[in-house]
Amino acid sequence: MAIVGNLAEGASSPAKDKSFTSYNRTNAGSPNATLTPLFSGEIVLDTTNHSLWKAMGLTNNTWVALTAF
């Protein structure tokens, strides 16, 4: 059995593969009203306020804060 990096979504190397992270995208600030989710359940890392947000729907006002660290 071989371990192969997931190169989905055009990633050029396993180092860029985000399937091994706890978030899907990053955003400078809250994604509420500014970022449209790619799918329901998407998790975004807010790099300004150091918090995680989860999309509960498919519009830019469905984000819910998960944590602050």
Task: Look at residue 7 and tell me if it is in a domain.
Answer: no
Domain membership flag for residue 33? yes
Q: Which residue has the higher pLDDT, 19 or 64?
A: 64
pLDDT > 90: percent of the chain: 61
**Does residue 48 form part of some domain?**
yes
Domain count, the chain: 1
Spell out the long-range contacts of 60-63 with Cβ–Cβ below 8 A and sequence spacing 24 or more.
60/31, 60/32, 60/33, 60/34, 60/35, 60/36, 61/32, 61/33, 62/37, 63/30, 63/31, 63/32, 63/35, 63/37
In a domain, 16, yes or no: no
Domain enclosing residue 39, as ranges: 23-68
Determine the pLDDT at residue 69. Answer: 58
pLDDT reported for residue 21 = 65
In a domain, 55, yes or no: yes
Residues 6+ apart with CB under 8 A from 47: 26, 27, 28
58 is a domain residue: yes
Average pLDDT value for the chain = 79
Report pLDDT digits (tens) over 14-44: 455 555 667 789 999 999 999 999 999 999 9
| Residue 46: inside a domain | yes
